[in-house]
Amino acid sequence: MPGRPRTASSRPRPFEIGARSVLVAVAALPLVSLGLAIAGRIGFPYPLEWMEGVVLEHAARLLAGEPLYGPPSGSFVPLVYAPMSYGVMAVFLFVGGTSLAWARASSVAATAFTIFAVGALAARGARAEHRPWTAILAAGLYAAGFAYGGTFYDLCRVDAVAIALLAAAVTLVRPDATRSRSIAGFLLFALAVLAKQQVLPVMVAATALALRQRRLRLSALIGWAALALLAAAIQVASNGWFWTYAVTIPGGHELHPSVAALSLVLDFAVPLPLLVVASGIALVQARRSPEPLHAAVIGGVVAAVLGRAHQGGFENVLLTAFVFLAPCAAATIARWALDRDLTVARRALVLAALVIQLLVLITPPRAFVPTRADLAAWRRAERALRECARGGRAVALDHAGLGGTRFAHTMAISDVLTGARRPLRQRTEQAVVRALDPEVLGAVGVGDATFPAMDRALLSRFEACAQVAAPPMQAGHDPGRLRIWAARGLLADVVNPVR
């Protein structure tokens, strides 16, 4: 009650004040670091990651009313993602215009929401007096995972929106929630899966828990029904192509079981020792009455390991686990650090381990912000394409938008050629080769990822014009060198060919 005097036992002791200060400092440093990194690169006019340009193109197509899924063509081959994240990006593009900065803004907003949700998840089971510190610690730990997750928090990619929807779903689904809240939670699970299919194991884990609790069974059923109905609607709207790109093609990619086993060690035990131990203890202690957060930890780890084992699995797939490991571990760590029943020595040891874990995770923001040299490298590549094209159209298959002309992206082509059935593979190859028309394109920039029919078309229709270092990437795959081919006959007019 207001005005009630605090007893001596309720007043924070000197060590407790120090512990709270450490928790706040541990949280504040990565939050500030993340903010500086995002502020330093959100407006960069070129891709920070090699698929940003093609993801932006998907959102722009949605905004323009063009289909996302359909037969492959030389100008566009869809990526193998569900459309929800593109829809969120399209809203931001509608407000601010079609640019990488506004597409990234959708991911920044999603990440900000995720940080808030992570704090709420961690504080849920904490003592009343510990909740603020637990929430702050969880938020800071998630921010510290920026580099761990491949720096995908602010990129023009589908991950940030999918993770935000996932975190919101787990926040709403709880045994004591009202029916409407739990239904909303499972509907958010459905939307998260439709943002990125990789998160499906988290929804499965939450459903397994819901089936044990009568209050949540109907909510889970409604969520799965909504997922099925929405997927069916997208399938019909795409004339049957959605399932091909979102399910059939990814299902045809290779899985490497040995990578899955290594992932548990190299992606979790080595870089996240404190988070793994703290979360593991929380799971063991809650085995008789688990919370949705505990189920989400298990589902998230399964999703992350499967993602790593999947062909091309990059660090961003680890976010499905990290977004739940952070609050689960934070709740345990804060309880240890602030528990007066533990000796000062043990609590100090916990705080020391927390600081060490932070030092392992966090990287100075300067490492993720493009420099003037990076900007100059992009402009050199753009200039080389333009000079080789001699006023004609130019494309760069690894860097959508760099040449100013639409063309199928290398990643989308590769996904089809490695995962689709033979007729679609052949159709895609033919469409791409047909689009390599020197009557239409003055220059073509390619990286190291090509296929034989493309190489033959380039050799017969174009001639080598320039080879430049590929523009540097701040995240994700590095496509390597950029080889530029000019339409035959154009180089005769080039006085000083770019080399």
Residues 6 or more apart whose Cβ sits within 8 Å of residue 32 = none
pLDDT classification of 248: cutoffs 50, 70, 90? very high
pLDDT per residue as tens digits for the range 324-362: 999 999 999 999 999 888 899 999 999 999 999 999 999
The average pLDDT across 458-471 equals: 92
Per domain, the residue ranges of the chain are 14-42+80-368, 372-493
pLDDT at residue 388 is higher than 60: yes
User: For the chain, what is the mean pLDDT?
Assistant: 93
Provide the pLDDT for residue 495. Answer: 44
Provide the pLDDT for residue 499. Answer: 44
β-pairing verdict for 441-446 and 393-396: parallel
pLDDT at residue 404 is higher than 90: no
Provide the pLDDT for residue 9. Answer: 52
The average pLDDT across 87-101 equals: 98
pLDDT per residue as tens digits for the range 276-299: 999 999 999 999 899 999 999 999
pLDDT per residue as tens digits for the range 5-60: 444 455 667 788 889 999 999 999 999 999 999 999 999 999 999 999 999 999 99
Lowest mean pLDDT among 93-107, 338-352, 370-384, 472-486: 472-486
Length of the chain: 499
pLDDT classification of 381: cutoffs 50, 70, 90? very high
What percent of the chain shows pLDDT beyond 70? 96
In angstroms, what is the C-alpha Rg of the chain?
Answer: 25
pLDDT per residue as tens digits for the range 298-312: 999 999 999 999 988
Provide the pLDDT for residue 402. Answer: 85
pLDDT at residue 271 is higher than 50: yes
CA pseudo-torsion sign 488, 493, 495, 496: negative
CA pseudo-torsion sign 83, 88, 94, 98: negative
Most confident of 124-128, 311-315, 429-433, 481-485: 429-433
Provide the pLDDT for residue 3. Answer: 45
Provide the pLDDT for residue 489. Answer: 78
Burial 341-353 (b: 16+ CB within 10 A, else e): eeeeeebbebbeb
pLDDT per residue as tens digits for the range 412-458: 999 999 999 999 999 999 999 999 999 999 999 998 778 999 999 99
Token readout for 2 is 């207001």
CA dihedral 31, 109, 166, 412 (to 10 degrees): -110
Rounded to an integer, what is the distance from CA 29 to the centroid of its chain? 22
Provide the pLDDT for residue 1. Answer: 41
pLDDT classification of 175: cutoffs 50, 70, 90? confident
Q: How far apart are CA 158 and CA 253, in angstroms?
A: 20
pLDDT per residue as tens digits for the range 139-155: 999 999 999 999 999 99
Most confident of 1-5, 140-144, 375-379: 140-144
**Could you give the residue ranges of the DSSP H alpha helices within 290-343?**
292-309, 319-338
Q: How far apart are CA 331 and CA 133, in angstroms?
A: 9
Provide the pLDDT for residue 311. Answer: 83
CA pseudo-torsion sign 114, 88, 406, 433: positive
Instruction: Report in angstroms the alpha-carbon separations of 475 from 146, 165, 367.
Output: 11, 23, 11
- Per the DSSP assignment, residues forming a β-bridge with 463 are 486
